[in-house]
């Protein structure tokens, strides 16, 4: 579970920091930095496991490694970019709150980029510098569960590197594609749900092996898809693939290949959130895509219910979900159900410091009052929630 993310020198991020609760809704206009934030987390995970220049080549999305570096007003890439996260990692001594930082130093082509990663416990990171104010720690229930926390029991950083690498392997972007989800899945597939959802059948098969987990999954699915009365999953030994059948009320059962795009997207997102073998951080791009607006609030509520409370975690990574959205319906639902989860991202133009103007991503929370310009005002929220209403018509 990531409790905080810091990004500097990466794309539009400059000295950016955001504390992450178990469930976060990132709201913002196009090109406000939402996807860049998810991709930074994904890249950090890759760099933790493989801190090389080639990792940047293999996992830089939307452009090559050079495009990852924020460019100065003169067009020159910054000297180094830095992505850091505070991560709750479970290991031999209980949970440890680690700070991991990947620093990539720019080099002009054709020299390779230099990648350094540092792992430190959060307590030590802040202890070294008296000017740093530590962010609030997750409320871990140390006494009753017997968990240990490295703020109290120092854990050698190296001792948790393996666990950190495993944990970071479960930070995954999800952007399910109906086309990909219509293909059959191998029974030998043990991977978490792929970014495009192509192994949906395998994840459903995995969930179906546990009666309680399967019931919980179907209960969530039918709450969102009321006409879906049953889902059947069976291992086809002859073909080594999962046979999946969706039974809608008063209709013949159909395989995923014949199901609607919206149905498949709901099943995929819920399957990822119910997968018993893969907890971790799900980074979901625009879950409202392809969904009827009336289903969006319920989807968010069901996803949020799958996230873990760090105070009651006893083992494993726990589940954490970050979604991006443009949807007024998703914003309304989040403000109603979990107002603390809502973070607006937008870009500001920075003037001054003797430099030409430059565009940067910032994060703001919704509030009724505060220092002007630092919070999302009720006016902004109203306009977002009602783009064709009073605001658009005037009065």
Partner 1 sequence: MGRRYLSLALLTEGASDQWFLVPLIDRQIAELALETPVGFDYSGVDVGECFTVAHRDLVVCEVTDLLCYYDIVMIHHDHNERGKVDAIRDRFPDDAHRIVALVPVRETEAWMLADPAALKEAAPARDTVWEVPHDVEKAADPKAVLRTALGGRRDAERDFGRLGQAVALEALRKVPAYRAWTAELRRAMERLRFL
Q: Which of 27, 346, 363, 366 binds partner 1 (CB under 8 A)?
A: 346
Quote the least distance from Cβ 358 to partner 1, whole Å.
10
Quote the least distance from Cβ 179 to partner 1, whole Å.
35
Q: How many residues touch partner 1 (CB under 8 A)?
A: 27
Contact by Cβ (8 Å): 6, 16: yes
- Ramachandran region, residue 119 (left: φ > 0; alpha: ψ -120 to 50; beta: rest): beta
Contacts for 191 with CB less than 8 Å, ≥ 6 apart:
199, 202
Quote the least distance from Cβ 116 to partner 1, whole Å.
28
Q: Which of 116, 139, 348, 387 binds partner 1 (CB under 8 A)?
A: 348
Q: Which is nearer to partner 1, 131 or 353 (CB)?
A: 353
Stretch that binds partner 1, among 1-9, 232-240, 299-307, 357-365 (CB under 8 A): 357-365
317 binds partner 1 (CB under 8 A): no
Q: Phi/psi of residue 293, each to 5°?
A: -55, -35
In whole angstroms, give the CA distance from residue 330 to residue 335: 9
Quote the least distance from Cβ 354 to partner 1, whole Å.
9
372 binds partner 1 (CB under 8 A): yes
17 binds partner 1 (CB under 8 A): no
Angle between helices 296-305 and 328-337 (to 10 degrees): 40
Quote the least distance from Cβ 298 to partner 1, whole Å.
30
Q: What length is written for the chain?
A: 395
374 binds partner 1 (CB under 8 A): yes
Distances (CA, A) of 346 to 20, 22, 254, 360, 364: 17, 22, 43, 8, 8
395 binds partner 1 (CB under 8 A): yes
**What is the separation of C-alpha 334 from the centre of its chain, rounded to a whole number of angstroms?**
16
Residues within the interface to partner 1 (CB under 8 A)? 346-353, 357, 360, 362, 369, 371-374, 377-380, 382-383, 390-392, 394-395
């Amino acid at each position: 579970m990531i409790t905080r993310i810091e990004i500097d020198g990466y794309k539009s991020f400059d000295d950016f920091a955001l504390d992450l609760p178990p469930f976060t809704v990132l709201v913002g206009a196009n090109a406000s930095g939402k996807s860049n934030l998810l991709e930074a987390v994904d890249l950090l995970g890759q760099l933790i496991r493989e801190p090389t220049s080639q990792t940047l080549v293999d996992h830089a999305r939307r452009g090559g490694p050079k495009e990852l570096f924020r460019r100065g007003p003169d067009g020159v890439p910054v000297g180094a970019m830095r992505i850091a996260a505070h991560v709750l990692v479970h290991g031999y001594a209980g949970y440890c709150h680690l700070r991991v930082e990947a620093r990539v130093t720019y080099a002009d082509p054709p020299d390779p980029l230099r990648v350094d990663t540092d792992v430190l416990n959060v307590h030590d990171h802040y202890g070294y510098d008296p000017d740093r104010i530590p962010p609030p720690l997750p409320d871990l229930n140390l006494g009753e569960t017997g968990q240990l926390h490295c703020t109290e029991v120092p854990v050698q950083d190296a001792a948790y590197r393996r666990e950190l690498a495993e944990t970071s392997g479960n930070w995954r972007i999800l952007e399910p594609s109906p086309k990909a989800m219509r293909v059959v899945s191998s029974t030998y597939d043990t991977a978490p749900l792929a970014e495009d959802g192509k192994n949906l059948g395998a994840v459903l098969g995995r969930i179906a092996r546990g009666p309680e987990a399967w019931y919980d999954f179907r209960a969530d699915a039918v709450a969102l898809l009321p006409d879906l009365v049953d889902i059947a999953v069976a291992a086809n030994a002859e073909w080594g693939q999962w046979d999946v059948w969706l039974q809608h009320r008063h209709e013949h059962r159909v395989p995923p290949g014949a199901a609607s795009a919206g149905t498949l997207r709901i099943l995929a997102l819920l399957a990822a959130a119910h997968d018993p073998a893969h907890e971790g951080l799900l980074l979901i791009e625009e879950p409202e895509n392809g969904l009827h607006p009336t289903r969006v609030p319920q989807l968010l509520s069901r996803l949020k219910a799958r996230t873990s409370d760090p105070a009651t975690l006893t083992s494993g990574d726990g589940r954490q979900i970050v979604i991006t959205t443009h949807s007024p319906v998703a914003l309304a639902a989040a403000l109603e159900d979990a107002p603390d989860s809502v973070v607006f991202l937008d870009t500001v133009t920075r003037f001054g410091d003797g430099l030409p103007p430059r565009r940067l991503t910032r994060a703001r929370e919704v509030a009724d009052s505060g220092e002007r310009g630092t919070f999302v005002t009720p006016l902004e929220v109203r306009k977002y929630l009602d783009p064709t209403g009073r605001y658009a018509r005037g009065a």
